[in-house]
């Protein structure tokens, strides 16, 4: 149907009036402080604001609306798996995170002096040590010494954890060069009692060791935990029982014979109604998995027992993720978060029994109905401090970056990120520089710093001689 000229003009007038009215409405909303769609989308697409950005206080608008942005605060469900928090956010979220790093830096300032290139020599270790370079947030493996299949899951998990902290960070970290060992006993051999190296744990008499997050913080697949964040912690967040619904027993699994504290625990727990303490014989050819339970199943119990093994105990951070009461003997090995353990007071988050003395009395008391609230308070404190704050993947990445900054502050040399220039025949004799070391991306595939082309990835070769 054709419209007359008068009808067309009427429709045009209505369209223009509607557009004018919509424009006035949008202008009114913009003046009232409501952002435009494009600006609101841009804000949603950005990383969480830093505390310095978030706490900025702009004066109230002309219409009297308070435009002050509230300061950023850490929220476990939103930020716990965020590897890319800014330095300011890390400080706000984890104010007690860097105590072990501060100790190591102070030791260099007051006792040992700046770190030198000689400190990065790796032959002393024998096996299981890597030399690392970080430049402009790129991870390079400069050298390794006898890292075989026996070390494989450890060094790959550690390198992946470092790379996650680097690649997710919005800023630029200092250039650093260091070594780390994946061995349980960080310092070995005569004359090596005070080597400078990054390690998973140290004894109090090893002040030169810098503590780093261990491989379990990435994953422990050979023991049934493919991923620390995506499997173990996610399962607990989704389906862990309430504390008072858990089994009112003390649970522990492990090889009994490799630490006196384990033997003492087994003796004191024998035939007790509150005990689910069982030994595991990994050399049992008929059934090596007898008595084995998953780490998630440990969290089904009100009480968990922590024991060191031949050296430090890899289970500690996992038990602290449980909403349970952890009971431990006095530990000889220190990890990067040990200063957060509180054995007494209102902030108590675990129970410390020297040599497990008094275990039976402690268990009987805490299982009495009148004392269940005390046990729950300890479990609540542990979950809040560890699972929901300092043992989150976000905290681990914050710790890595703080560690590199601390190391850089006492690094007495400037690492060279480039090899010496070489003549490149393909460029008619011109010089070409190449990075020092092998990029993490290549090493994660080849698991070697050198190879011929074409090549087969090293660990796919079934060579028993490469185990160590």
Q: How far is CA 180 from the centre of its chain?
A: 16
- Predicted confidence at residue 459, as pLDDT, reads 54
* Residue range 193-202, pLDDT digits in tens: 789 999 999 9
Per-residue model confidence as pLDDT tens digits over 383-434: 999 999 999 999 999 999 999 999 999 999 999 999 888 877 777 778 888 8
> What is the rounded distance in angstroms from the CA atom of residue 113 to the CA atom of residue 191?
19
Using the predicted structure, report yes or no on whether residue 17 has a pLDDT greater than 60.
Answer: no
Q: What is the mean pLDDT of residues 201-213?
A: 96
Question: What DSSP state is assigned to residue 219?
Answer: -
Q: DSSP per residue over 243-312, as a string?
A: GGGSEEEEEEEE-GGG-HHHHHHHHHHTT-TTEEEEE--TT-SS-TTTT---HHHHTTEEEEEE---SSS
Q: What is the mean pLDDT of the chain?
A: 86
How far, in Å, CA of 230 to CA of 227, rounded?
5
Q: What is the mean pLDDT of residues 119-142?
A: 95
Task: Please answer whether residues 282 and 288 qualify as being in contact, where contact means their C-beta atoms are separated by less than 8 angstroms.
Answer: yes
Give me the mean pLDDT over the 9-28 stretch: 40
Percent of the chain with pLDDT over 90: 69
Of the listed ranges 118-122, 155-159, 261-265, 461-465, the one predicted with least confidence: 461-465
Decide which of 223 and 280 is more confident.
280
Are the beta carbons of 192 and 169 closer than 8 angstroms?
no
Mean pLDDT in residue range 358-368: 97
- Give 70-91 pLDDT, tens digit per residue: 899 999 999 999 999 999 999 9
Rounded-to-integer distance, Cα 377 and Cα 231, Å: 26
Kindly indicate the confidence band of residue 37, based on its pLDDT and cuts at 50, 70 and 90: very low
Contacts (Cβ under 8 Å, ≥6 apart) of 205? 193
Measured between alpha carbons, how far is 378 from 346 in angstroms, rounded to an integer?
9
Contact 201, 312 (CB under 8 A): yes
Rounded CA gap, 232 and 226, in Å? Answer: 8
Asked if residues 351 and 378 have their Cβ atoms less than 8 Å apart, the reply is: yes
Residue 51: Cβ-neighbour burial (10 angstroms; 0-12, 13-18, 19+): buried
The rounded distance, in Å, linking the Cα atoms of 268 and 275 is 9
Give, for 20, the enclosing helix (H) or strand (E): helix 5-31
Domain ranges of the chain: 74-214+397-468, 240-334+338-390
Give the CB-side neighbour count of residue 47, counting CA atoms within 13 A: 15
- Calculated CA dihedral for residues 92, 98, 103, 108, nearest 10 degrees: -100
At the top level of CATH, which class does the domain 240-334+338-390 belong to? alpha beta
Query: What mean pLDDT comes out for the span 310-334?
Result: 97
User: 377 to each of 49, 366, 384, how far by Cα in Å?
Assistant: 33, 11, 11
What is the arithmetic mean of pLDDT over 255-266? 95
Dist CA 236 CA 297 (whole Å): 10
Least confident of 115-124, 267-276, 446-455: 446-455
CA distances from 391 to 99, 213, 396, 406 (A): 15, 10, 7, 20
| Mean predicted confidence (pLDDT) in 140-144 | 96
- Cβ-based neighbours of 229, under 8 Å, separated by 6 or more: 81, 393
Quick one: tokens of 179?
């070594």
Task: Decide: residue 298, CB within 10 A, 0-12 exposed, 13-18 middle, 19+ buried.
Answer: buried
H helical segments located in 274-420: 295-298, 316-321, 359-367, 372-382, 393-409
């Amino acid at each position: 149907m054709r419209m007359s000229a008068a009808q067309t003009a009427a429709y045009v007038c209505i369209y223009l009036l509607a557009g004018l009215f919509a424009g006035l409405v949008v202008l009114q909303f913009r003046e009232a402080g409501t952002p435009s769609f494009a600006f609101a989308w841009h804000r949603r697409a950005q990383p969480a604001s830093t505390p310095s950005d978030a706490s900025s206080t702009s004066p109230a608008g002309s219409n009297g609306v308070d435009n002050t942005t509230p300061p950023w605060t850490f929220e476990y469900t939103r930020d716990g798996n965020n590897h890319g928090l800014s330095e300011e956010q890390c400080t706000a979220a984890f104010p007690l995170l860097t105590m072990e790093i501060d100790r190591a830096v102070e030791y260099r300032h007051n006792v040992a002096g700046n770190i030198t290139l000689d400190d990065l020599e790796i032959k002393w270790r024998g096996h299981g040590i890597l030399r690392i370079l970080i430049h402009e947030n790129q991870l390079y493996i400069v050298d390794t010494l006898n890292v075989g299949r026996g070390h494989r899951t450890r060094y790959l998990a550690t390198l992946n954890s470092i790379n996650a902290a680097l690649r997710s960070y919005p800023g630029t970290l200092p250039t650093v060069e260091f070594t780390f060992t994946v061995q349980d006993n960080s310092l070995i051999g005569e004359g090596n009692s005070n080597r400078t190296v990054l390690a998973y744990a140290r004894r109090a008499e090893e002040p030169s060791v810098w503590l780093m997050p261990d491989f379990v913080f990435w994953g422990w697949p050979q023991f049934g935990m493919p991923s620390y964040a995506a499997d173990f912690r996610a399962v607990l967040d989704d389906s862990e029982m309430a504390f008072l619904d858990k089994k009112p027993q003390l649970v522990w699994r492990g090889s009994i014979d490799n630490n006196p504290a384990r033997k003492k625990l087994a003796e004191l727990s024998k035939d007790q109604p509150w005990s689910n303490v069982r030994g595991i014989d990994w050399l049992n050819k008929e059934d090596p998995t007898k008595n084995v339970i998953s780490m998630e199943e440990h969290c089904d119990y009100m009480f968990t027992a922590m024991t060191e093994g031949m050296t430090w105990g890899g289970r500690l951070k996992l038990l602290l993720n449980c909403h349970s009461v952890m009971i431990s003997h006095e530990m000889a090995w220190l990890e990067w978060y040990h200063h957060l353990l509180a054995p007494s007071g209102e902030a108590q988050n675990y129970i410390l029994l020297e040599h497990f003395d008094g275990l039976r009395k402690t268990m009987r008391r805490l299982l009495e109905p009148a004392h269940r609230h005390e046990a729950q308070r300890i479990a609540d404190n542990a979950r809040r401090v560890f699972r929901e704050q300092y043992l989150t993947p976000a905290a681990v990445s914050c710790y890595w970056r703080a560690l590199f900054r601390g190391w850089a502050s006492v690094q007495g040399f400037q690492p060279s990120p480039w090899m010496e220039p070489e003549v490149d025949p393909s460029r008619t004799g011109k010089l070409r520089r190449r990075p020092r070391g092998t990029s993490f991306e290549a090493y994660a595939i080849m698991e070697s710093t050198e190879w011929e082309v074409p090549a087969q990835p090293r660990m796919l070769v079934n060579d028993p001689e490469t185990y160590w």
